[in-house]
Structure 1
Amino acid sequence: MKYSPINNKLFINNRKKFTAKMKPNSLAVFNSNDIYPISADSTMPFQQHRDIFYLSGVDQEESILVLFPDCPKEKHREILFLKETNEHIAVWEGEKLTKEKAFEVSGIKTVYWLQDMEKVMFEIMTQCDTVYINTNEHYRANVEVETREDRFTKWLKEKYPAHAVAKSAPILQRLRSVKDEIEIDLIQKACNITEKGFRRILSFVKPGVTEYEIEAEFIHEFIKNRSKGFAYTPIVASGNNANVLHYIENNQTCKEGELLLMDVAAEYANYCSDLTRTIPVSGKFTNRQKAVYNAVNRVKNEATKMLTPGLMLDNYHAEVGKIMTSELLGLGLLDKADVQNENPDWPAYKKYFMHGTSHHLGLDTHDYGIITEPVQANMVFTVEPGIYIPDEGFGIRIEDDVVVQETGEPFNLMKNIPIEADEIEDLMNS
């Protein structure tokens, strides 16, 4: 791993919080992700399943975590099953976790090799009544492939059909959405790496530069600072490309007078940051571009202040919509008749700002969190309003990542990343 070792206190505490929510005499199982093939002998880079990482810190393939807090045998209350390492694997693939190293990473004392899994599982399944399975129930999930977790669940339910089945997802959705101090520090590191990437490109962007060259500057800075790379597929969108919300081709040339929207951020230790900035390719906004930019920035600042404990996200998005409506009226993009005659299910402002303002952030870019429940302290959110004007050839989005505080305004993890229009112009022309 490129990242520095993480204090295993995080994973020990995460397991305590999870097991405290389990039913009596129940067992929970979590699997690592597969390594996905491309073709021939090529594979995609491995990405660990965030749930097993959250609960153990184990960041390698073919790993299984079992939690059984009421197990009669104390050593089986927490178990890791790992792919057995040997000299051959070390030479061809690199060193895998030994039992000793797995304990250092996770704080779990009982580690078996994977070939012992069925024998040990038979013993502990005869001692429990309920088994927690880990299904993907994220509100944005749209998964067509069968995962390693899916295959294991199918095997478990076929082999032990008399057990009651419970879901891990509701517990994890609530636990993962409220961040530990160690997690916030890791997200801050990801934001700091993102800042270095953004500052690097401010002196690089000029007319004639391509979107893919800008993408390359970001990845250089990210990997240089111990990130694995992008937290999500980067958007580097010049001119009218910015009006395509998920534009990822990044293959056009930036032209004089255009704006450049960049939704690009680094991960660190599997934790994500999520940044958007919009800058003038020529180093100076036109009056119109700056007026729209400042309007988006004002909406972002007002929306940020609203993220306090107890807030319901539906109400939040509706209130942000009202603020945006006011700004669009001021810019002449809407008139009073547009607002008076709007469809309540698709308000007038949606013509220019059609996406949500905030989402949870953490181990996933769109992180776990139950969006029908109140906001809590130590949740991390993006704040990302935008105004998109295809008729004028540009779109503007601005995004920061913030931590909800018990009292007062959220803490901005990106407070050191340039955002004011004048500051961006000064840095681009210095």
Structure 2
Amino acid sequence: MKYHPISNKLFIKNRIKFIKQMKSKSLAVFNSNDIYPVGADSTLPFAQQRDIFYLSGADQEETILLLFPDALEEKHREILFVRETNEHIAIWEGEKLTKDKATEVSGIKTIYWLKDFQKIFHDVMTEAETIYFNTNEHYRQAVETQTREDRFIKWCKEKYPAHKWEKSNPILQKIRGVKEPEEIELIQQACNITEKGFKRVLQFIKPGIWEYEIEAEYMHEFLRNRSKGFAYTPIIASGNNANVLHYIQNNQQCKDGDLLLMDVGAEYANYSSDMTRTVPVNGKFTSRQKEVYNAVLRVKNEATRMLVPGTLWKEYHIEVGKIMTSELLGLGLLDKADVQSEDPDWPAYKKYFMHGTSHHMGLDTHDYGELKTPMEANMVFTVEPGIYIPEEKMGVRIEDDVVIQEKGEPFNLMKNIPVEVDEIEDYMN
């Protein structure tokens, strides 16, 4: 791994939180992701399944975590199964987890080779009444491929039809949403790398440059700071491209007079950052661009102040909509008649700001976290309002990542990333 080792104390704490929510005489199983094929002998780079990483720190394929707090044998209350390594694998693929290294990484004392899984699993299942399956139930998930987890669940239901089963997801949504200090530190590191990338490209952007060249500059800076690269597919959208919310082609030339919207973030140790900045290609905002930009910035700042313990996500978005409506009236994009005749299910402001303002962020860019219960301290949210005006070939979005505090305003993990008009123009010139 490129990242510095993470203390296993984090993963021990995470397992304790999960186990406290489990039913009596139950066990939980978590599988690593597959390595996905491209064609012939080519594969995509491995990316670990976030839940097994969250609970064990094991960042390797063909790994299984088993938690069984009521096991009769103490050694079977926490088990990590890893792929058996040997000299041949070491030569061809590089270092894999040994049993000692797996314990060092995870804090789990009982390590078995993966080939022993079915035997050990059958033994503990004779003691268990319930098994927790780890299904992906994120509100934005749209997975079509069958995962290693899916195959395990299918096999287990056929092999042990008399056992009851529960879902791990409600527990994970609850505990993953509130970050430990070590996690906030890792997210901060990802944000710091993103900051370096942004400051690098501010001195690189000029009329005539291509969007993919800017993407390459980010990647260079991310890799040289121990990141694997982008936390998600980057959006480098110049001119009217910014009005396509998930524009990822990044293949157009940046023209004099246009704005450039960049939604990018570095990952670090599997944790995400998520930043958006909008800058003038020629280094100088026009008066209209500045007017729209500052309106978005005011919405972002006011929305940020609302992210405090007790806030409800749904009500928060309604209040942000009211603030955005006021700004759009000021910009002349809406008039009072538009607001008075608006559809409550699709308010007038949605014509120019059609997405949400905030989402949980952490191991996933759109992270697990409860949305129907009041916000809590140490939750990490994005704040990302935008105004999109196709008729003016202009789209502006500004996004920071913030940590909710026990008292007062959230802590901005991106406070050192230039955001004011003057700051951006100074860096670019």
- Structures share a fold, TM > 0.5? yes
Offset at residue 157 of structure 1 (A): 1.1
Give 2:367's aligned amino acid: D
Offset at residue 23 of structure 1 (A): 0.2
Offset at residue 287 of structure 1 (A): 0.1
Q: Distance in 1 between matches of 2:171 and 2:403?
A: 21
Which residue in the other structure is 1:392 paired with?
A: 392
Give 1:234's aligned amino acid: P
SS of the equivalent of 1:291 reads helix
SS of the equivalent of 1:315 reads helix
1:361 aligns with 2:361: yes
1:98-139 deviations in whole A, cap 9, x for unaligned? 000000000000000011111101110001111001000000
Offset at residue 156 of structure 1 (A): 1.0
Which residue in the other structure is 2:135 paired with?
A: 135
**How many positions carry a matched residue from both structures?**
429
SS of the equivalent of 2:395 reads strand
1:22 aligns with 2:34: no
Q: Distance in 2 between matches of 1:300 and 1:379?
A: 18
Where structure 1 has 5 or more consecutive residues not aligned to the other structure, the ranges are none
> Deviating runs (4+, > 6 A) in structure 1?
none
Q: Distance in 2 between matches of 1:395 and 1:141?
A: 26
Q: Distance in 2 between matches of 1:106 and 1:252?
A: 45
1:206 aligns with 2:206: yes
Q: Distance in 2 between matches of 1:188 and 1:143?
A: 29
1:2 aligns with 2:6: no
Q: Distance in 1 between matches of 2:139 and 2:373?
A: 13
Which residue in the other structure is 2:323 paired with?
A: 323
Which residue in the other structure is 1:113 paired with?
A: 113
Offset at residue 263 of structure 1 (A): 0.1
Which residue in the other structure is 2:285 paired with?
A: 285
> Identical aligned pairs, as a percentage?
75
Which residue in the other structure is 2:83 paired with?
A: 83
1:11-35 deviations in whole A, cap 9, x for unaligned? 0000000000000011000000000
Q: Distance in 1 between matches of 2:184 and 2:400?
A: 14
Instruction: Map residues 245-324 of structure 1 onto 2, 5 A cutoff.
Output: 245-324=245-324
Instruction: Map residues 23-422 of structure 1 onto 2, 5 A cutoff.
Output: 23-422=23-422
SS of the equivalent of 2:205 reads coil
Q: Distance in 2 between matches of 1:310 and 1:426?
A: 39
What is the CA RMSD across the aligned residues, in angstroms? 0.4
Q: Distance in 1 between matches of 2:418 and 2:172?
A: 35
Q: Distance in 1 between matches of 2:252 and 2:65?
A: 46
SS of the equivalent of 1:388 reads strand
Offset at residue 370 of structure 1 (A): 2.1
Give 1:346's aligned amino acid: W
Offset at residue 368 of structure 1 (A): 0.2
Offset at residue 70 of structure 1 (A): 0.6
Q: TM-score, normalised by structure 1?
A: 0.99
Offset at residue 303 of structure 1 (A): 0.0
Q: TM-score, normalised by structure 2?
A: 1.00
1:322-371 deviations in whole A, cap 9, x for unaligned? 00000000000001111011111100000000000000000000000121
Q: Distance in 1 between matches of 2:112 and 2:354?
A: 50
Q: Distance in 2 between matches of 1:370 and 1:183?
A: 17
Q: Distance in 1 between matches of 2:34 and 2:374?
A: 34
Q: Distance in 2 between matches of 1:275 and 1:324?
A: 20
Q: Distance in 1 between matches of 2:303 and 2:406?
A: 17
SS of the equivalent of 1:200 reads helix
Give 1:426's aligned amino acid: D
Q: Distance in 2 between matches of 1:136 and 1:427?
A: 42
Give 1:124's aligned amino acid: V
Q: Distance in 1 between matches of 2:428 and 2:108?
A: 50
